Amino acid sequence: MSQNIYDDPDFFAGYMTLDRQVRGHDGAAEWPSIRAMLPDLRGARAVDLGCGAGWFTRFAAEQGAAQVVGIDVSTNMLERARSETTSSVVDYQRCDLDELSLDSRSLDLAYSSLTLHYVCDLDRLLAAIADALVVGGALVFSVEHPIYSAPTAQSFVTADDGSRYWPLDNYLVEGERVTEWFVDGVKKQHRTIATYVNSVVAAGFVVDELIEWGPTAEDVMAAPALADDRHRPWFLLVRATRVD
């Protein structure tokens, strides 16, 4: 069972101040990259695993999806999602992703944004997703980048000469990381890039593209405060296709 930190009132209050919660996709810097990984949504049957406040489910409906199911474990999030969604093609369901089951060959797209690093049994979930997708269906997801999730101390160090670096340790030590994020005790699962890729392949997918997302050199010129984020990626984005 994954931790349901989003139903912690203090966490939720803090989380909802994030730009990506206030402004949705416009406040999520990686959105243009993950959007470019999506298949044509017209007529598609899609699921959003960890749908949060429903930004993606509404986007998919606007793009012409035939059916979109948003799944989340947080009642706080689902309440917010339902209150802001009017489309008749969107449905929401409460479920812990460690216990998810889906109908076989019922989906064209499985989408997940910054959620799978909470899931304890990734292989089980990927098998369920693979079974639910039609052959040729797409899996598109983002997670906290393993370089970001690995270290004991997840903050930059300033060297004596003023240069900045990310103090990477325990990259190869997979498993639970307990961090402070709005509240103490937020639990995430650290996995290496190889584990993500190999698990996706083992579930029956072909990997189409990886993006280790961070600002570009041009982004940093426009916003110098982003310079640190060229040192280590924020997110890992994966696009894969279900094969038989």
Please report, as ranges, the residues that interact with its own copies according to CB under 8 A: 147, 151-152, 157, 159, 163-173, 192-194, 197-198, 201, 206-212, 214, 217, 229-233
Q: How far apart are CA 86 and CA 21, in angstroms?
A: 18
Give me the least distance between CB of 230 and its own copies, in Å please.
Answer: 5
Give me the least distance between CB of 198 and its own copies, in Å please.
Answer: 6
- Of 29 and 81, CB closest to its own copies: 29
- Of 38 and 97, CB closest to its own copies: 38
- Of 70 and 146, CB closest to its own copies: 146
Q: Long-range contact list for 151-160, CB < 8 A, 24+ apart?
A: 154/179, 156/228, 156/231
**Tokens matching residue 202:** 């083992």
Q: How far apart are CA 81 and CA 68, in angstroms?
A: 13
125 Cβ neighbours under 8 A, 6+ residues apart: 49, 97, 98, 100, 116, 119
Residue whose structure tokens are 């997110």: 235
Give me the least distance between CB of 178 and its own copies, in Å please.
Answer: 17
Give me the least distance between CB of 154 and its own copies, in Å please.
Answer: 12
- Of 131 and 174, CB closest to its own copies: 174
